[in-house]
Copies of this chain bind each other. A is one copy, B any other.
Amino acid sequence: MSEADNTPQPSVTDSPPASGAWFDTMPTGDRQFFELAPDRPYVLESGTELQTPQIAYETWGNLDAAGSNAVLVCHALTGDAHAHGDAGPGQPTPGWWNDFIGPGRPLDTDRFFVVCANVLGGCQGSTGPASINPVTGKRWGGDFPVVTIRDVVRSQRALAQHLGIQRWMAVVGGSMGGMQALEWATSYPDRCGSLVIIASTAAASAQQIAWSQVGRQAILDDPAYKGGHYYDAKPGEGPHLGLANARRIAMIHYRSDEEFDRRFDRYSNDAVEPFRMEHRFDVESYLDYQAAKIQWRFDANTYLILNKMMDLHDIGRGRGGVEQALKRVTCPSLFMSVRTDFLYPRHQQIRVVDALKGRVPVEHIDIDSDNGHDGFLTEPEQTGAPMGDFIDKVAKGSIA
């Protein structure tokens, strides 16, 4: 059997693997690995210790001699280190930001050294719930500790050191990626040369926590979840129903009423006649499809960990509040909002922009898209062009 035959494919008709996590028995793909603390316990913000945690990451382009052209791309909830590249062995999906990264693209790999790391607690090569806990010799499962955005950023700081990067030229991200970027500029202002943040927030709001809760609850309520210890389950016997409904819920608040009206309206291509409970409108089939697809590339335990991570995100924790914390930021910053994003509404980005204004060069751009929160992924022209211009100015030192 070739390596390619081992690769999980995002089919939605076959029985999915028990978990969508990557295991080290699978093809490595484009992953590189960095052992975070080979010689000591790695202490999380919670006080919990991880033994020999690793970070999976990918890089594109070359670091210049001065180590001054590095860009960190931070991924969102169901993203991973594979921000750029094709699908292939070990990589069930193509790069999630292919339109933004590459030669001649906004994050121009002919000029910049672009890095993306799977977050701690993730499921695509970084240490997370699907990893073996060296203390017990068993997979962590539901016992994996809570990880915070600050933990993730601190691990990325160690990775930067490892790569010879004293200071990122830019830290870039949307949604949960934007949380990491803002935390970078707050935790390590000397190591963060600029920020590009799309559709993100300085602190998770009550409604964001609420959405997160119902998604997590869908998984926790699934009897196949078994306290997170399902890695030995047969294909198709993992917590698929729970993860599926969590994904359906998320896909509604990732998109928008306006887009759903445009794409789906009240259309139905279902052969079942409409006055039956089983009948599906097209929007339902779309959500079912998205729900089935994620099973192939994402792990329910990581879904819990990263949602809790986002809930705990608060730039102001232990720093006298959000506005006080934002006084630490010293770098030029570009923020973007998507018109129809009701999950990370515009006022959350404006709050940060207002706090930075007058102290650092800061720009804010409205993206006119009906794709809702997912506009940070789906509008390469509207978001990519200003991002490219901004990064270019930063690289040339014409903004500071």
Contact = CB atoms under 8 A, between A and B. Distances in A.
B146 A252 contact: no
For this chain, the copies found in one complex come to 2
Interface residues on A, range: 35 or more
Interface stretch (A25-33, A182-190, A261-269): A261-269
Interface in A219-261: 221-223, 241-242, 244-245, 248-249, 251-252, 256-257, 260-261
Interface in A261-308: 261, 263-266, 274-277, 281-284, 287, 304, 308
Interface in A163-191: none
Contact of A266 (B48, B203, B252): B203
A206 B242 contact: no
Contacts of A251: 210
A207 B284 CA distance: 10
B245 A275 contact: no
A216 to B, nearest CB: 8
A206 B311 contact: no
A314 interface: yes
A260 B146 contact: no
A46 B275 contact: yes
A126 interface: no
A211 interface: yes
A214 B287 CA distance: 9
Contacts of A47: 275
A385 B334 CA distance: 47
B209 A311 contact: no
Contact of A277 (B222, B241, B304, B342): B304
B209 A146 contact: no
B260 A206 contact: yes
Interface string A188-212: 0000000000000001111101110
Contacts of A217: 244-245, 248
Given A210-B287, A213-B287, A204 B266 contact: yes
A248 B287 CA distance: 19
Contact of A276 (B146, B213, B214, B314): B146
Interface string A340-358: 0010010000000000000
Given A206-B281, A209-B283, A277-B304, 18 more contacts: A146-B276, A146-B277, A205-B260, A206-B265, A206-B266, A206-B283, A207-B256, A209-B266, A210-B248, A210-B252, A210-B284, A213-B284, A213-B287, A214-B249, A217-B248, A221-B245, A249-B249, A275-B312
